[in-house]
Amino acid sequence: MTRWQSDPILTVEHLTMRFGGLVAVDDLSFTVGRGDITAIIGPNGAGKTTVFNCITGFYKPTEGRIAIALDKADPPTMDRLTASGARLSADRNILLLDRMPDFEIARDAKVARTFQNIRLFGGMTVLENLFVAQHNKLMVASNYTIGGIFGLASYRKGQAAALERAKYWLEHIDLIERADDPAADLPYGDQRRLEIARAMCTEPRLLCLDEPAAGLNPRESAQLNKLLRFIRDEHGISVLLIEHDMGVVMEISDHIVVLDYGEKISDGAADAVRNDPKVIAAYLGVEDEEVDAVEQEVMQ
Ligand SMILES: Nc1ncnc2c1ncn2[C@@H]1O[C@H](COP(=O)(O)OP(=O)(O)OP(=O)(O)O)[C@@H](O)[C@H]1O
Question: pLDDT digit string (tens) for 46-74?
Answer: 999 999 999 999 999 999 999 999 988 78
- Alpha-carbon span 131 to 169, nearest angstrom: 11
Predicted local confidence at residue 92, as pLDDT? 87
19 CA to centre of ligand 1 in angstroms = 9
Paired residues of 260 in beta bridges: 263
- From residue 240, how far is each of 31, 42, 232 by CA, in Å? 10, 14, 11
Predicted local confidence at residue 283, as pLDDT? 78
Please tell me whether the interface predicted TM-score (ipTM) of this complex is above 0.85: yes
Domains along the chain? 1-110+204-269 (3.40.50.300), 119-203 (3.40.50.300)
- Alpha-carbon span 281 to 219, nearest angstrom: 30
- How confident is the model over 96-155, as pLDDT tens digits? 999 999 999 998 999 999 877 777 788 888 888 888 877 766 666 556 666 566 666 666
Edge-to-edge strand order for the sheet containing 94-96?
Answer: 22-33, 8-19, 63-69, 94-96
3-state SS class at 47 = coil
Low-confidence ranges of the chain (pLDDT < 50): none
46 CA to centre of ligand 1 in angstroms = 7
Predicted local confidence at residue 138, as pLDDT? 61
Closest C-alpha among 56, 75, 57, 66 to residue 7? 75
243 CA to centre of ligand 1 in angstroms = 15
Q: Which atom of ligand 1 is nearest to the CA of 19?
A: 4
Predicted local confidence at residue 90, as pLDDT? 85
Predicted local confidence at residue 7, as pLDDT? 94
Please give the share of the chain, as a percent, with pLDDT higher than 90.
Answer: 60
Residue ranges around ligand 1 (CB below 6 Å): 19, 22, 24, 42, 44-50
